[in-house]
Copies of this chain bind each other. A is one copy, B any other.
């Protein structure tokens, strides 16, 4: 009962490393068992099916994301500081999670976007939640007077998500280490664009930070 969870965690560690580099489809039970020093059937028993393994990987990613991106950001006061913390943590989270390849969730999203089944459903739901969280943070910033009243929260959340996906590709496919900064600059520009009249100090600070990031 205890040993089981322990090896299961060890397996998932390896699974995340493989899935990050190769994607969920190329994450195979044979190679995962080999790298976990387990027999195929021994490993298999932990997940019941290939799909079960994939779902477990996604769940693990969700948990990791929550611990490294969302929860730390909740320490920040609601509004712009929290939104900014989310975006900054998010853009760095594959590094802090020690994922050798890119973001598993992003890769899975594009891999399963037309492939019906529980994996697609879980990925879809996860990203929907993420968008909702972003939109909520935007709305809080509006309520705090940091963003204009006519700010379209869903639209802004969409654009922030897009920046993340774009940064992922630049970092991985182009081996471009400036991808994160590119996305941050764009994000700050978005914020600036929607910034409200009051809180002049904050807006000026964000301008300075955006300039410094270049």
Contact = CB atoms under 8 A, between A and B. Distances in A.
Nearest to A128: B174
A173 interface: yes
Interface residues on A, range: 35 or more
Main SS at interface, chain A:
helix
A166 B165 contact: yes
Contacts of A185: 155
Interface in A116-146: 120, 123-124, 127-128
A210 interface: yes
Contact of A25 (B23, B158, B163): B23
Contacts of A214: 152
Interface stretch (A63-71, A79-87, A199-207): A199-207
Q: Determine how many copies of this chain the complex contains.
A: 2
A60 interface: no
A62 interface: no
A203 B203 CA distance: 13
A189 B21 CA distance: 35
Contact of A211 (B128, B168, B170, B198): B198
A167 interface: yes
A120 B21 CA distance: 13
B200 A189 contact: no
A101 interface: yes
Interface stretch (A7-15, A29-37, A42-50, A103-111): A103-111
Contacts of A200: 210-212
B210 A204 contact: yes
B169 A109 contact: yes
7 contacts: A101-B114, A123-B173, A127-B174, A155-B182, A204-B207, A204-B212, A207-B210
Given A25-B111, A123-B173, 5 more contacts: A120-B173, A159-B166, A162-B163, A195-B209, A204-B207
